[in-house]
Amino acid sequence: MWDTRQVWNCDETGLFWKQRSTSHACVPISFAKPHGFKVDKKRVTILFGGNAAGHKLTPLFINQHQNPRCFKNEDPEDYGIFWAANKKGWVTKVVFEDWFKDNFLPEVKSYYQEEGLDERILLLLDNAPGHP
């Protein structure tokens, strides 16, 4: 039987950080969506995870840039996040496998050592194309 500390779930969400929300504004439609206006689709994908007992994993942020200006002289891991980059800012097979091997497994193994559990992992994921 599985212990709740050994059952993990991960899922990602997209954050369109530069997109303006005009659908809830109190302005006429002609001002809300001017002719020739193109919605900015700059996004950050964030992968959250945790186990059934409530332990949260360090989130993975996927951006379009490996070294954005906000981290000019900083390391993103100093802020308690893992950082990855690709052209569109999405979870791809390569990004997911790197996160799984380099971040998920070491973090879960150290958690298991603290809790005194045997290393059995049940990871629940959706069937997104980026999850091999």
SS3 106: helix
Give residue 41's pLDDT. 65
Number of helices (H), then strands (E), belonging to the chain: the values are 3, 5
* 43, 16 Cβ separation under 8 angstroms: yes
pLDDT of residue 51: 95
Who's near 59: CB < 8 A, 6+ residues apart?
46, 47, 48, 49, 81, 82
Q: Which two tokens stand for residue 125?
A: 């994921």
The closest alpha carbon to 70, from 42, 112, 50, belongs to: 42
pLDDT tens across the length of the chain (132 residues):
889 999 999 998 887 666 555 555 565 555 555 566 666 667 788 999 999 999 999 999 988 877 777 777 877 777 788 888 888 778 889 999 999 999 999 999 999 999 999 989 999 998 877 778
Beta bridge partners of 46: 13, 61
Give the pLDDT score at 101.
94
